[in-house]
Structure 1
Amino acid sequence: MNYNRRNFLKNTGMTAAVGVLATAKQPALAHTKPDDLTIGHNNFRYKVDKGWAKLTVNRTPLFNCHEMIQDQKGRLIMVGDHVANNILIFDKSGKLLDSWTLAFPGAHGLSLSKEGSEDFLIITDCGWYQDRNGQWNRQAGQVIKTDTNGRLMFAIGHPRTIGIYKDDEPFMPTETAVAPNGDIYVADGYGSDYIIQYDSKGKYIRHFGGKHNANPEHNLVNAHGVSIDLRDPRNPKVVCSSREENCFKFFTLEGKYLYKVDLPGMYVCRAVFHQENLYAGVCWSKDKEGKQNWGDSGFVTILDKNNKVVSNPGGNAPVYQNGVLLPTLATSNPIFNHGHDVCIDEDENIYVCQWNANHTAPIKLTRTV
């Protein structure tokens, strides 16, 4: 069933939130020239451009820039949680082409569903949001499918409505992934840590992960991201970030646990695949004492086809000892504020979305090596 976006906003009672939160004071964006700084390691080095996005802050206010994908037209589509601008669409030069909103105060996840020549967006509202006074609020999350113009196609309801969640299990989804057959995997990363699998129409198939498996290796702890790994076309996998455990866990498409890749010290967001490599934003890391560094400690990590870390742009170089990755510590002069997601274009440039980054736009990393 299709929905008109105007009616959706009216029916969900979210129109008032636009008027309230859009008036929050926004700091000016820094329109700096590209930095001379080059970051990264081995054959993955990049020039930093903090002034890539061409935005007028009074017309296009930002809050947190959560995730970005590239559509089949080559446009870069970003989701953020400012209720006046949930979706921003850029070209590769950083020019803003379009923007629209669903008035989601917790807009967090964005995935692309390619259906022939058409593109559709799967958007998650995680349920956590800040009001104009900076206070955090919590509500049930939701998952919405739209076209790239914001026309609503369908919504996936709370899992409790179909009997797969108990009354005391919260649903606060953070991310989705779309398999080649159209199945949608929803990561309940701020709720009950399940991965819930639906078909392309939103019909429930199964769920896995969570916190109560007999083998704790199969559990997920802050299942912040979910992706589909097609690097081996004969053996596609579901990849989940178990962020509090500093690792990625790999499952079959049917939810059978396979193995994990440990990333000591790294609080990783979703895995993003480009050719044979895995890229991810690292929202923060641990300090030298092994404690969480909640400050400006984010960076990007890049893994090769064997899931070995080869570069940490904005972070310290990866070091392996007897085949085991040593903890990656925060750098003393961070480039990023909480790297939340990455998007890689056809030229292998990286666009980094940041959380809790003083309302700044995405940063472009232009590959030099």
Structure 2
Amino acid sequence: MISRRNFIRNSSMASALTVAKTGFAFSILHKNLQPEETLIGHGAFKYKVDKGWAKISVNSNPLANCHEMVQDSKGRLIMLGDNTHNNILVFDQSGKLLDYWGSGWPGGHGLSISKEGGEDFLLIVDCGWYQDRAGNWKSQAGQVVKTDLNGRVIFTIGHPRTIGIYKDNEPFMPTETTVAPNGDIYVADGYGSDYIIQYNSKGQYIRHFGGHNNSNREHNLVNAHGVAIDYRDKNKPTLICTSREENCFKVFSLDGKFMYRIDTPGMYVCRAVPDGDNIYAGVCWSKDAAGERKGDTGFVTILDGSNKVISNPGGNAPVYVNNVLKPTLQAPDRVFNHCHDVCVDQDKNLYICQWNANHSAPVKLTRV
């Protein structure tokens, strides 16, 4: 069955070919592309930018930081933010707000979804960093909460010190979770002690790895901001862990054995989002030409099945020299501030959540 995106793209290609024969392709193309529409991306991964996709009122549904988004089995898009008026916002794909709930996660940061017995469940991560009403940053111990899609709490995973696997001087400020095929839950302690902690489906501890003190430094993680299951090899799924301060992903086996790294020089990547043969990720910051990290320099990066960067919507085109990726910067015409997450729908359109982006709603990128 042809997807809607492919139908539209194929129809557009056919129309363009017909018009080209009349000699008016250039004028027709620019007539169809409205002035407010911006195209970004590279190669076969180009997108139309829609910053007005989310149909919400800041008065009734205020936003602070839009951290992450997932799609449920019904096609709805579920977003987690850190405004406790409405931590969870639920949209349809046209951007209409369907529901909102949640008021207990001032550090709402990580969101993943799993299916059990035909039912969807959410794993919500409060990282512990939050702003008070005066705008001051505060910190507290983080937590991971499993809920159903209506917000009913199933269980909570608290500080690992309570089960004896953290020392008193090791902070716990989790940023992300992912769920393995057998139901095991992996928690990334990305703002705390940089461990990946593995629990079973009931929240019972199995092991932890990563952190800072391995004899082989490649096994360490530095700002383990994200964690995801990579199903691209169906016979051997792996764990993709973000080491953001090292500008890379590190790949582990599901039992915590380091395998290899994927370098993304110049890019402070958030969690990896595998979809089909590709990996998508938000880039929260990039570096300037002098190699210094700068604010408001985010974009999106897309990798192919061989882990090669093939498109950077909102960033400069990827450049490889002798099969080594050169540092990638934000494109001159800034589209994003700080990209924090990417959600991919069934038509390969993208929804981008941003941190520290002037309270803006998620941006839709429609693939063309």
TM-score, L = length of structure 1: 0.90
- Contact 2:285–2:298 under 8 Å retained in 1: yes
Partner of 1:9: none
Partner of 1:42: 43
Give distance in 2, aligned partners of 1:75 and 1:353.
15
> Secondary structure in 2 aligned to 1:97?
strand
Segments of structure 1 that go 5 or more residues without pairing to the other structure are 1-32
Structure 1 pair 301–80 and aligned structure 2 pair: CA distance change class (3 A): same
Give distance in 2, aligned partners of 1:249 and 1:35.
39
* 2:229 equivalent to 1:228: yes
Partner of 2:240: 239
- Contact 1:124–1:176 under 8 Å retained in 2: yes
Partner of 2:3: none
Give distance in 2, aligned partners of 1:332 and 1:291.
16
Q: CA deviation at 1:34?
A: 8.8
Partner of 1:359: 359
Aligned positions of 1:337-352 closer than 5 A: 337-352=337-352
Partner of 1:163: 164
- Cα distance per residue 1:122-173 (max 9 Å; x no partner): 0000000111222110110000000000000000121000100000000000
Give distance in 2, aligned partners of 1:35 and 1:57.
22
Partner of 1:334: 334
Give distance in 1, aligned partners of 2:166 and 2:96.
43
Partner of 2:4: none
Partner of 2:68: 67
- Cα distance per residue 1:32-64 (max 9 Å; x no partner): x99321000000000000000000111111110
Give distance in 2, aligned partners of 1:329 and 1:361.
23
Letter in 2 for 1:108: H
> Secondary structure in 1 aligned to 2:226?
strand
Aligned positions of 1:89-128 closer than 5 A: 89-128=90-129
- Contact 2:314–2:330 under 8 Å retained in 1: no
- Cα distance per residue 1:185-210 (max 9 Å; x no partner): 00000000000000000000000000
Partner of 1:270: 271
- Contact 1:38–1:45 under 8 Å retained in 2: yes
- Contact 1:293–1:330 under 8 Å retained in 2: no
> Secondary structure in 2 aligned to 1:244?
helix
Partner of 2:20: none
> Secondary structure in 2 aligned to 1:223?
coil
Partner of 1:317: 317
- Contact 1:71–1:119 under 8 Å retained in 2: yes
Give distance in 2, aligned partners of 1:265 and 1:293.
11
> Secondary structure in 2 aligned to 1:143?
strand
- Cα distance per residue 1:321-345 (max 9 Å; x no partner): 0000000012222101100000000
Greater Cα offset, 150-159 or 324-333 = 324-333
Larger radius of gyration: 2
- Contact 1:34–1:50 under 8 Å retained in 2: no
Aligned positions of 1:10-25 closer than 5 A: none
- Contact 2:351–2:365 under 8 Å retained in 1: yes
Give distance in 2, aligned partners of 1:182 and 1:194.
19
TM-score, L = length of structure 2: 0.90
Q: CA deviation at 1:232?
A: 0.1
> Secondary structure in 1 aligned to 2:268?
strand
Partner of 1:301: 301
Give distance in 1, aligned partners of 2:93 and 2:243.
31
Give distance in 2, aligned partners of 1:90 and 1:122.
18
Q: CA deviation at 1:269?
A: 0.3
* 2:249 equivalent to 1:254: no
Give distance in 2, aligned partners of 1:220 and 1:357.
27
> Secondary structure in 2 aligned to 1:224?
coil
Q: CA deviation at 1:234?
A: 1.1
Give distance in 1, aligned partners of 2:36 and 2:261.
36
In the alignment of these two chains, the number of paired residues is 335
- Contact 2:225–2:270 under 8 Å retained in 1: yes
Letter in 1 for 2:355: W
| % identical equivalent positions | 71
Give distance in 2, aligned partners of 1:82 and 1:103.
9
Letter in 1 for 2:354: Q
- Contact 2:67–2:341 under 8 Å retained in 1: yes
Segments of structure 2 that go 5 or more residues without pairing to the other structure are 1-33
- Contact 1:240–1:248 under 8 Å retained in 2: yes
Structure 1 pair 48–138 and aligned structure 2 pair: CA distance change class (3 A): same
Give distance in 2, aligned partners of 1:116 and 1:71.
14
Partner of 2:285: 284
Give distance in 1, aligned partners of 2:158 and 2:335.
39
Give distance in 2, aligned partners of 1:91 and 1:180.
27
Give distance in 2, aligned partners of 1:35 and 1:122.
37
Partner of 2:23: none
> Secondary structure in 1 aligned to 2:162?
helix
Letter in 1 for 2:333: N
Give distance in 1, aligned partners of 2:103 and 2:262.
36
Give distance in 1, aligned partners of 2:257 and 2:341.
26
